[in-house]
Structures are given as C-alpha cells and as structure tokens.
C-alpha cells in the first residue's frame, strides 16, 4: 500500500512539474493547439505568429459589405471602406487564449480553438468613401412653390429631403469591422414651405390675374392730349409678379415695359439753336418743348397698383419738359462775336474717316450752350451709329487700332476742345488718346478722345451770354468757331513742353491665314511715348490772372503687321493668332 502511495505521489509530482514546465514554456508563446486566421500558431511567439498570419492573409479577398439607407441598398467591397487584415491584432487575440480561463487552454490542446482573422479599418479612407456614397444618396428638401401654368397659378407640392448619419456609420464600422451590413440612419429633412402654406398665396395671386391697361396721355399744353394705350394680358401681368411665400412685383420686368413705352411715346425737347437758312444766313431755329414719362414715379405707383385686384386701368405719370435754350433768349446772330476758333487737318484720311468727320461736324454746327450751361459733345452730335449716318473706320479700342463705327469723330472733338480751351472755358471732362495720333500734330498733348457712352468732352460756358458753335470743313481740314458775348478775358495757351519721351517697341508680325503667302498688311503704326504739359494763362476782366495745366501721358506704340503664311519677318518673332 505504501508503495502504491509513493507511485501516486510520484505521478502527481511529475504532472505538476510537467505543467509548470509547460506554463514556463508558453509564458511568451501562444498555447499549443491554437489556430488563428486558419493557420496553426501554437508554440509561436507573438512576433512569429504575427509574421505567419501576415504571410497567410496577404492575398485575402476582402468581404462584401451591404450599405443600407432606408429602402436603398448598395453592395461594396470592404476594401473600398479602408478594410484590411490586421495580423498583429489577430496574433494578440490568439496569444490571449487560455491566459485567464483553463477551459480555453484545454480546448486549445484538443484543437478546438480557432481565432478568426481580425481586420482593421482606415478611418480616413472610410470617411472619404462613405461621404462620396452619401453625397449620391442624400438630397435636400424641396420647398413647395407657386408656378404660373395654363393661365393660372398652381402649387407644386413640397418634397422632404434625406440626410444620412455618416458619423454614426463610421463609428459603428470601426468598432465592428466584421459585420456584413452597415446601416446609415436616414433623417428626413422638412421643407421650409409646404403646399398648405402656399395655397392661400396662390389663391390671392390668381385674383390679381386680370388685363391691365396702361394709359399714356400727352400732357397739355405742349402735347395734343393724345392718349396711347397698352394693355397687359394675363400672362404678361403674371410675368410682372413674383409669387412664392408672398406676392411681390418684379420691378426689373416692370421697369423694362415702362422704358419701352417711354421710348415709343416720349418727345424730348429740342433747344433753340442757330442754323443756316436756304439763303445761307445764320438764323434761329425755335425751340420745341416736349414731354417725358417720369419713370421712377410711375414705377413706384404701379408697383402698388398691380397688387390691387380691382384696378384694370392705370394712368402713367407723364410731365412736360421744356427746352433749356429758348429762341427769345438768343441774341441776334449779327450781335455774336468770335470768342475762339481752332483748325485741324486730316489730309490723307480714308473716305470713311472723312465722312465721319463731316457727319459729326454737321451735327455740332449751330449747337447752343446757354450762359452757365454745359457744352456736352456727345449730346450735341447725337448717337454715333450706322443708323445716324456714321461709317466704320479705324478707332482705338482696348489697346489696339481696330475698325469701329465713328472712327474720325475724335478729329471733331479735338478741334472743339482746342477752341474751348483757347476761349478760357473751364474744362469739366477731357480724355487723351492712348497714344500720340498723327492727325493732331504738330501740337502734342492737345487732343480730346471721345467714345460713347464712356468718354465725353464737357466744358462750362461761363461767359455772360449763350454760346453758339459753328463748324466749317473741307476734304482736308475742319474749323470750329465759338461765338458769344465776350467779357474781356485774355487767354494765352503755351506750346507743349515735352517732359519725357519713351522709344516705341519693335514691330509685331501676326500671321493671318486670310492673307496670301508673302503678303504684308500694316494695321498699327509705331509712335514714341510722350509725357507733355501745356499751360493756359487767363487774364480776367478784373485783372486777376489764373493758370492751369493740361497734362498728357501717351504710351509708346508698336507697329503691327499682319502677314500671310510663310512670310519671313526680318529680325522679329512672328506671333500666331
């Protein structure tokens, strides 16, 4: 019996010693029998297990993941969402088997513990991809709206919007990357305007749909009292209304209709002016009074009237407009004296340029500026257009010399400017040309550019009486004379002082495929840049002396040639267009 006891004690001691040795061996190793990601890792260190799992899973096919948003689903590869195997985390989970529970260790020894592959998720890639998907699924709410259809206002119902909870989906997938379904929790977005809110608005708007007649009456005594009517139909009235959560008048559309009516029926006054009689004598052409719609006042009143369903006729505000210069205020032609005159020459100009000079000069001839009034060149010559007799000729536009309607009118504005300046009148607006123009030589810096509607020439008539402008022209010269009542002022205009001079750049050659090979056509001419100054000294009747300076700064200008294909340009680079 004693022997049996000793044998039992020996077996127990051996078992305990073996278990202790087994514990010591697996202190830094995975317990025997454990599998991870389908490969045995028992007996391996954490680093060895990690390496073995990495080798076994490097070609693992990512699982498919179903994205769900309400009743919509989308199947994607988990790799698109930043999913990838995590060999280290998988090895750590295998290493943890049996560390706290004996039953796990015994199960491992029996080969019953299989640790699944543990994935990890790239949070940045996940967020980026989910946001792209959400952008395709999300949509904003659509407000109900009132539209004009088939002669009446109707309400288009609202639609709720959809917003997905991206943050919650990201957090869920990062915590549970093994799941096969990832749900976006959709949130319905409520529209701001609903059909129930807009139905009363549409009903009120429909009450405003009636024909409205606009009445334009020529005022007495300047007009005959003639009445012009313009009826706006229902569709046109609807175009003048803006109907949403409230009803407003479309001021822009209404302003356009009023401008059309004004252009059709307004008669602007014509000032009295001097003109040549059939016998060639200077006589007074009487003024003609006119009338004009007061568009701001009419717009203000009509905006209110259109919102009154009972109103079907509206009288426009039309007011008389009297001429500023009246025949009774003009002295007899024989009493006018020459205040100043200027002459410029344009021999060699094209036929079109000469025609434009003559057209502008004819319109300027007889123009009267009342005492204290403003000489306005653009107003005096009228609209520079083909309809008004002007032709296309070379003009300076956007840094280039190009063809444009009215090329040559600056010959007239420059000549008029010199007369105004020499008469000692205050210059309110004058613009130099971009570069020195040869037609205005030999005096440099004594020109005035005009370009409707942006550039004008304006001066104040500060003489004691009205001033009349006379023009005389030939095929090569233009003279502008100013007649009025002299006040005894003496005016001296100096010769120009050249402050600086900048040489012009080399010519530019541009290939123009419309020209034949070897053909050269000059379209711009070289001229140096100049900074100039002219001084004007005025001795007033009371003996007071005043001076002012006319400064000009002209850019250097290069010659530009258009050349046909394969045309050599000596010493210069050929640019293509």
- What is the distance between the alpha carbons of residues 112 and 500, in angstroms, rounded to a whole number? 100
- Rounded to the nearest 5 degrees, what angle is found at the Cα of 270, between the Cα atoms of 267 and 276? 135
Residue 436 token pair: 């020195």
Q: Please give the pLDDT value at position 573.
A: 43
Is 0.85 topped by the overall pTM?
Answer: no
As to burial, measured by CB atoms within 10 angstroms (0-12 exposed, 13-18 middle, 19+ buried), residue 312 is exposed
In whole angstroms, what is the distance from residue 474 CA to residue 565 CA? 41
Cα-only R_g, the chain:
46
Q: Where are the domains of the chain?
A: 2-121, 145-199, 208-324, 331-487, 488-577
Q: Is 247 helix (H, G, I), strand (E, B) or coil?
A: strand
Q: What is the CATH number of domain 208-324?
A: 3.10.20.800
- Which residue numbers in the chain have pLDDT < 70? 1-26, 393-404, 406, 569-577
Residue recorded with tokens 């140096």: 528
d(CA 130, CA 537): 79
CA–CA distance, 477 with 474 (Å, rounded to integer):
5
d(CA 172, CA 183): 9
How many other C-beta atoms can be found within 10 angstroms of the C-beta atom of residue 562? 20
270, 323 Cβ separation under 8 angstroms: yes
**Residue-level pLDDT at 261:** 96
Q: Which two tokens stand for residue 400?
A: 């280039």
Summarize pLDDT for 7-47 with one digit per residue, the tens: 656 665 655 555 555 566 667 888 888 888 889 988 899 89
Residue 103: per-residue pLDDT: 81
- Closest among 421, 474, 424, 471 to 445, alpha carbons compared: 421
pLDDT, residue 13, reads 61
The C-alpha atoms of residue 240 and residue 208 are separated, in whole angstroms, by 11
> pLDDT tens for residues 118-141?
888 888 888 888 888 888 878 899
| 8 A C-beta contact, residue 324 and residue 372 | no
- For residue 171, whether the previous peptide bond is cis, meaning omega lies within 30 degrees of 0, is no
The per-residue DSSP string of 35-58 comes to EETTEE-TT-BHHHHHHHHHHHHT
Token output for 241: 């209304």
* DSSP β-ladder status, 508-511 and 545-554: unpaired
CATH top-level class of 488-577: mainly beta
Residue 572: what pLDDT?
A: 46
Question: Checking DSSP bridges between strand 273-276 and strand 282-285, what pairing results, if any?
Answer: antiparallel
What is the 8-class DSSP label of residue 99? S
Do domains 208-324 and 488-577 share one topology? The answer is no
């Amino acid at each position: 019996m004693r022997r049996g006891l000793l044998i039992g004690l020996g077996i127990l001691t051996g078992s305990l010693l073996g278990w202790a040795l087994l514990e010591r061996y697996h202190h830094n190793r995975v317990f025997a029998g454990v599998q991870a990601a389908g490969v045995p890792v028992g007996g391996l260190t954490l680093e060895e297990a990690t390496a073995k799992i990495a080798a076994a899973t490097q070609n693992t096919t990512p699982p498919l993941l179903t994205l769900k948003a309400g009743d919509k689903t989308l199947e994607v590869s988990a790799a698109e969402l930043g999913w990838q195997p995590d060999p280290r985390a998988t090895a750590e989970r295998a290493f943890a088997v049996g560390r706290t529970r004996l039953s796990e260790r015994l199960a491992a020894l029996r080969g019953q513990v299989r640790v699944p592959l543990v994935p990890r998720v790239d949070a940045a890639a996940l967020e980026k991809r989910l946001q792209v998907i959400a952008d395709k699924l999300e949509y904003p709410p659509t407000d109900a709206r009132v539209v004009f259809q088939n002669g009446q206002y109707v309400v288009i119902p609202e639609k709720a919007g959809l917003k997905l909870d991206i943050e919650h989906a990201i957090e869920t997938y990062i915590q549970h990357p093994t799941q096969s379904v990832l749900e976006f929790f959709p949130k319905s977005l409520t529209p701001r305007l609903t059909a129930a809110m807009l139905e009363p608005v549409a009903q009120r708007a429909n009450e405003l749909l009636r024909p409205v007649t606009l009445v334009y009456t020529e005022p007495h005594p300047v007009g005959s009292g003639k009445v012009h009517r313009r009826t706006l139909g229902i569709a046109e009235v609807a175009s003048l209304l803006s109907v949403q959560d409230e009803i407003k008048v479309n001021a822009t559309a209404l302003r356009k209709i009023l401008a059309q009516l004004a252009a059709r029926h307004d008669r602007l006054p014509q000032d009295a002016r001097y003109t040549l009689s059939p016998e060639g004598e200077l006589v007074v052409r009487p003024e003609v009074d006119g009338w004009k719609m007061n568009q701001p006042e009419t717009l203000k009143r009509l905006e209110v009237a259109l919102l009154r369903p009972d109103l079907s006729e509206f009288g426009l505000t039309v007011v008389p407009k009297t001429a500023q210069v009246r025949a009774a205020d003009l002295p007899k032609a024989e009493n006018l004296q020459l205040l100043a005159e200027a002459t410029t020459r344009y021999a060699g100009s094209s036929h079109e340029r000469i025609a434009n000079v003559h057209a502008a000069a004819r319109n300027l001839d007889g123009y009267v500026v009342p005492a204290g009034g403003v000489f306005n060149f653009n107003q005096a010559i009228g609209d520079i257009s083909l309809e008004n007799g002007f032709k296309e000729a070379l003009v300076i536009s956007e840094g280039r010399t190009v063809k444009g309607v009215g090329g040559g009118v600056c010959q007239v504005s420059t000549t008029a400017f010199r007369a105004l300046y020499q008469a000692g009148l205050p210059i309110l607006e004058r613009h130099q040309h971009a570069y020195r123009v040869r037609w205005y030589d030999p005096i440099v810096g004594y020109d005035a550019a005009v370009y409707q509607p942006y550039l004008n020439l304006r001066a104040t008539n500060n003489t004691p009486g009205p001033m009349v402008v006379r023009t005389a022209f030939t095929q090569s010269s233009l003279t502008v004379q100013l007649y009025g009542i002299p006040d005894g002022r003496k005016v001296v205009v100096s010769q120009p002082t050249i402050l600086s001079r900048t040489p012009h750049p080399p010519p530019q050659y541009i290939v123009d495929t419309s020209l034949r090979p070897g053909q050269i056509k000059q379209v711009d001419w070289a001229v140096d840049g100049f900074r100039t100054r002219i001084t004007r000294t005025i001795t007033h009747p009371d003996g007071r002396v005043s001076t002012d300076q006319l400064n000009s700064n002209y850019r250097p200008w290069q010659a530009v040639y258009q050349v046909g294909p394969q045309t050599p340009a000596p010493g210069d680079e050929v640019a293509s267009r």
